[in-house]
Amino acid sequence: MIDPVLASRLQFALTTIVHIIFPVMSMGLAPFLVYFTWKDIRTGEPIYEQLRRFWTKIFAVSFVVGTVTGIVLEFEFGTNFAAFSTTAGELFGGPLALEGMMAFMLEATFLGVFVFGRERVGDALYMVSAVAVGLGTWLSAVWILIANSWMQTPRGYELVTENDQVIVTLVDPIAAYANPRFPWMFVHMQNAAVESVALFMAGLGAYFVFRHHVWGYPVENVDFWETTLKFGLIALIVTAPLQVIHGDLYARHVFETQPQKFAAMEAVWVTDTYVPEYIVAFPTSLTDLLDPRAKSVFGIGIPGGASWLASGGDPQATIQGLEEFEGPQPPVAIVFWAFRIMVALGFWFILLAVWGGYRWWRGELLEDDLLHRALMLSAPLGIVAVELGWIVTEVGRQPWVIQDVMRTSDGVSPGLTGAEATLTLAGFAVVYLGLLTLYAYVVARIVRAGPPDVDGSAARDAPETPASEVSVDD
Amino acid sequence: MTDVDALAAEPLFGLPLADLWFGLLFFILGTFLFLDGFDFGAGALFATREDAEEREQLLAAIGPFWDGNEVWLVVFGGAMFAAFPSVYANLFSRHYLLMFAILGALIVRGLSPEMYEQRHDETWQTWWGRAFVVGSLTAPFFLGMFTANWLLGATTIVTLPGIIVGLALVALTVVDGAAFLRLKTRGDLRDDLRTDGYRALAAYLVLVVATIGSVYVAAPDLRAGLFSAPVVALVVATLTLAGVYAMATREDRYYLAFGAAAGLVFALVGIVAGLMYPAIDRAGGLTVESAIVSTLPLNLMSIGAAILLPLVFGYFAVLYSTFSGPIEAGESY
C-alpha cells in the first residue's frame, strides 16, 4: 500500500493533469465560437456555419468530459485533503461556491441552448447563449485561479485557534481575493488556452491542407480546412509573443513572492550572484538529469540571465539558493525540466507564428510542406506547455499547500488509510486514462467526419429541419 | 468603522444566517435530486425501451438539460465547503469510498449519452446504453446511502437504512423521470410511462415506510424527531403528493404530476433535514452553530448567493422555456 499522503498527492496530480485538458479546450475555443457565431448570424456565409457547428461538437465533448472529471476535483478536497479543507475552507470554499453559482451555471445552462437550440431560438438569444457560454468558461477560471493564487501568495487572513485547530480566517477579502498572484495567473492561463486551441486548429488545418495540396489526395471541404488553418495561425500570431512577454514578467513576480520556487525553477542550490539562464541545458551525467544543479548542468546559457530575469534587468542580482530554505525541498528535477521545456515550447510557438505569418504574407501558405509538418506535430504541444506550466506552479511550491502557512503533508485527511487511498488512486488511473483515450477517439471521429454540409441559409429559412449539433453521424 | 469591519461584526440585518445556510444547503440538495433526478429516471426507464426510436426520444428529452441539472451538485459541494468547511471535510473524508462510488457513477452516467450518440452501430450503442442505465441507477442509490449515513452519523459505508434510502431514491427518480418524460413524449411511449410512474410510486411509498421503520430501529436518538410536527407534516405531505401524482397522471395533467414529483423530492429532503437539525454532522459532533464559518465570509457568501441564485433561476427559465413541450420528430441528443 502506498502511504496515504503520497497516494493523495498522486491522485490529485493525476486527476488535475487529465482534467485541465478539457477546460483548456473550452476556454480556448470560447472566443472562436463567439466570433464564428457572430459571423454566421451577420453574414450567413456557409463557412461560418460550418466552423461554428464543427467546433461546437468538439466544445460539447470537451465540456462533458470536463464536467465529469471536474466534479471529482471539487470533492477530492473533502475526501483526500480534509485537514486542508477544515483549515482553509473559510477562505477557500467561497471562490469554489461562487464558481459553481456564477460561472458553471451560466456555462452549463446556456450550453443547452447553444448546442441544441439553433432552430428554436432567434438570432439574438442564440448570440447571447454563445457569449454566455464563453463568459461562463472564463469566469470559471477567474474563481478557480483566485482560489489557487491565494494558496501561492496568501494575503488578507489571520490564523486563529478554534477547538484546538488552527483555522485560517478571512479578515480582508480584497487583499485575499485580489491577491498579487491572481492577475499573472489569469492572463497567462487564458492566453495559454487560446494559444493551445490556435495550435490545435492550425495543426488540424495543416494536416488536411497538406494531404490535399502536397500529397494530392482529394480532400472534401478543403476550403474549410484552409480557413481553419488561417484562423489558427492568426490567433497564434497574436498569442504566442504575448505568452512569452507576460511569462517573463510572471517569472519575475515568482522570484519576488516565492523565492524557493524560483530557485527550484533555476536549480540554484547555493545563493549566488550572476546566475546564468540556461536556454538549452544538457545533463553532464545521469545524476545531473535527476538532480540538476545550476553549477553542474552543461548548457548554452546566457551569462547572468537568471539573475537578470529575476531582478528585471540586473545581471549581478543575488538569487537565494534552495539550501537557505528550511525543511523539505520541492522535487527540483521536475520543476527545473518542466520549466525549461515549457519556455522552449513558448519560443518554438513564436517561431511557428513568424514562419507561418511570413509564408502567408508571401502567398505561399498552402505550399510549404515543412511548415505543415511542423504545425501538425505541434498541434498538441500547446496543451503540453500548459501541463508543464501547472507542474512548475504546483510542484514548485511544494512542500507547501499554502505557501509558508501549511505543508501539503499536513493537509491530507487524518483518517485516510493507505489502502483506501491506493484503491482510489488505482481506480482513477484506469478511469482517467480511459476517459482520455475515449476523448481522443471521439475527437478523431469528429475530425474524420469533417464539417457538416450546409447551404448557408438552411438553418434560418427552414426552421423545421432538424440539425443535431452533437452527433457526428448526421 | 469600515465596510469590512461592519461585515465582520454581525450577520447581515441580524438574520440567523447559520440556519438559513443549513436550509439553503438542503434546498440545493433537493433541487439537484429533483432536476438530475429526472435525468436518472430517464436513464432507468431507458432500460425498459427496446425500440431504437423511443430510446432516442428519451435521450433527446434530457439532452439540453442534464449538464445544467448536474451543476447543482457542484453548487451543493461548493456551498457546503464555503459555509460549513469542517462538515465538508469530515463528511466526505469519512465516506471516502462511497464518495468515489458516487463520482464513478456520475462519470459513467454523464459520459454515456454523449458516447451513445457518437456512433450508430449496434454493439457500441448496446454497451453505452447499458452504461447509461447502470450509471443512472447507481448514482441515486449511492447518493441515498450517503444521505442516510450522513443523517444517522454512520461511520460504516453499508447500513440497512442506507440501502433502503438508496432504493427509495432510485424509485423516486423513476417517479420523477416518468413525470418529466410524459411532458416530453407522445403516443404509446407516453401511455406506457403512466404505468411506469404508478409502479415506481408504489415502490417508493413502501420504501418510505421501510425507511421510517429502519431509522426508528437503528437510531433511538432520532425517534423523538420522527414524531415531531415538521416531520409528521412532511410525511403527510408525501402521502398527499403521491395521491396528487397518481390522480394527475391518470387525468393526463402532465405539469401537475411533474410538480407533485418535485414536491415528493423536496419532502424527502425536508424529512432528512428536519431529523438532522440542529446537528449537521452527528458523527463529527458538529452542530449548525458550531460548524458555520465566521461572520465576514458568511456575510459575503450570503450577499453572493442572494444575487446569484435568482440569476441562476433566470437561466433555467430561459433553458426550460426554450425546450418546452414534447420533443419534435428528428430532434436528437
Contact across the interface for B97 and A424, Cβ inside 8 Å: yes
Q: Which residues pair with A165 in a beta bridge?
A: A162
**Where in chain B does DSSP place strands (E)?**
279-281, 286-287
For A110-139, how does the pLDDT look when each residue is reduced to its tens digit (9 = 90+)?
999 999 888 888 999 999 999 999 999 999
pLDDT score, position A472: 41
Taking the CA of residue A414 and the nearest CA in chain B, the distance in Å comes to: 9
Quick one: average pLDDT of A281-291?
72
Residues on chain A touching B315 (C-beta within 8 angstroms): 105-106, 109-110, 132
Assembly ipTM: 0.89
Would you tell me the crossing angle of helices B96-116 and B122-152 to the nearest 10 degrees?
150
Whether residue B100 lies within 8 A of chain A, CB to CB, comes out as yes
pLDDT score, position B331: 67
pLDDT score, position A335: 93
pLDDT score, position B168: 96
For B37-82, how does the pLDDT look when each residue is reduced to its tens digit (9 = 90+)?
999 999 999 988 888 888 888 898 898 898 889 999 999 999 999 9
Residues on chain A touching B86 (C-beta within 8 angstroms): 86, 89
What 8-state DSSP symbol labels residue A456?
A: S
pLDDT of residue A469 exceeding 70, the answer is no
Task: Average the pLDDT over each of A180-184, A299-303, A372-376, B275-279 and give the range with the smallest value.
Answer: A299-303
- By three-state DSSP, how is residue A246 classified? helix
Contact across the interface for B82 and A94, Cβ inside 8 Å: yes
pLDDT score, position A150: 95
> Which residues, numbered 4 to 23 in chain B, qualify as contacts with chain A under a Cβ-Cβ cut-off of 8 Å?
4, 8
pLDDT score, position B285: 87
Quick one: average pLDDT of A419-429?
90
C-beta of residue A306 within 8 angstroms of C-beta of residue A339: no
Taking the CA of residue B203 and the nearest CA in chain A, the distance in Å comes to: 30
Contact across the interface for B96 and A413, Cβ inside 8 Å: yes
- Per-residue pLDDT band for B332 (boundaries 50, 70, 90) equals low
- Per-residue pLDDT band for A304 (boundaries 50, 70, 90) equals confident
Which member of A93, A113, A420 has the closest CB to residue B97? A420
Quick one: average pLDDT of B224-249?
93
Contact across the interface for A121 and B4, Cβ inside 8 Å: no
Contact across the interface for A94 and B120, Cβ inside 8 Å: no
For A30-41, how does the pLDDT look when each residue is reduced to its tens digit (9 = 90+)?
999 999 999 999
User: Which of B99, B107, B127, B287 to mutate: most A Cβ within 10 Å?
Assistant: B107
- Per-residue pLDDT band for A465 (boundaries 50, 70, 90) equals very low
Q: Evaluate the CA torsion angle A138, A143, A147, A153 in order and state its sign.
A: positive
Cβ atoms within 10 Å, residue A330: 23
Contact across the interface for B71 and A100, Cβ inside 8 Å: yes
Task: Average the pLDDT over each of A135-139, A396-400, B5-9 and give the range with the smallest value.
Answer: B5-9
pLDDT score, position B2: 62
Taking the CA of residue A258 and the nearest CA in chain B, the distance in Å comes to: 27
Query: In the structure, how many helices (H) and strands (E) does chain B have?
Result: 14, 2
The rounded distance, in Å, linking the Cα atoms of B213 and B230 is: 18
pLDDT of residue A456 exceeding 70, the answer is no
Percentage of chain A modeled with pLDDT above 90 = 56
> Which residues, numbered 48 to 67 in chain B, qualify as contacts with chain A under a Cβ-Cβ cut-off of 8 Å?
63-65, 67
Contact across the interface for B304 and A97, Cβ inside 8 Å: yes
Quick one: average pLDDT of B266-276?
94
Residues on chain A touching B120 (C-beta within 8 angstroms): 473
Upper half-sphere CA count for residue A309 (Cβ side, 13 Å): 26
Contact across the interface for A109 and B120, Cβ inside 8 Å: no
Quick one: average pLDDT of B283-308?
90
Q: Find the residue in A nearest to B110 (Cα).
A: A68
Cβ atoms within 10 Å, residue A273: 12
Quick one: average pLDDT of A10-20?
94
A216: left (phi over 0), alpha (psi -120 to 50) or beta: left
pLDDT of residue B151 exceeding 80, the answer is yes
- Whole-model pTM: value is 0.90
Contact across the interface for A474 and B332, Cβ inside 8 Å: yes
Cα-Cα-Cα-Cα torsion B264, B267, B272, B273, nearest 10 degrees, comes to: 140
pLDDT of residue A461 exceeding 60, the answer is no
User: Which of B96, B106, B150, B307 to mutate: most A Cβ within 10 Å?
Assistant: B96
- Per-residue pLDDT band for B258 (boundaries 50, 70, 90) equals very high
Q: Mean of the per-residue pLDDT values for chain B?
A: 90
For A308-364, how does the pLDDT look when each residue is reduced to its tens digit (9 = 90+)?
878 877 888 888 888 888 888 899 889 998 998 999 999 999 999 999 999 989 888
In order, the DSSP letters of A267-314 are T--S-EES--EEEEEE-SSHHHHHS--TTT-EEEEETTHHHHHHHTS-
pLDDT score, position A35: 96
Contact across the interface for A112 and B67, Cβ inside 8 Å: yes
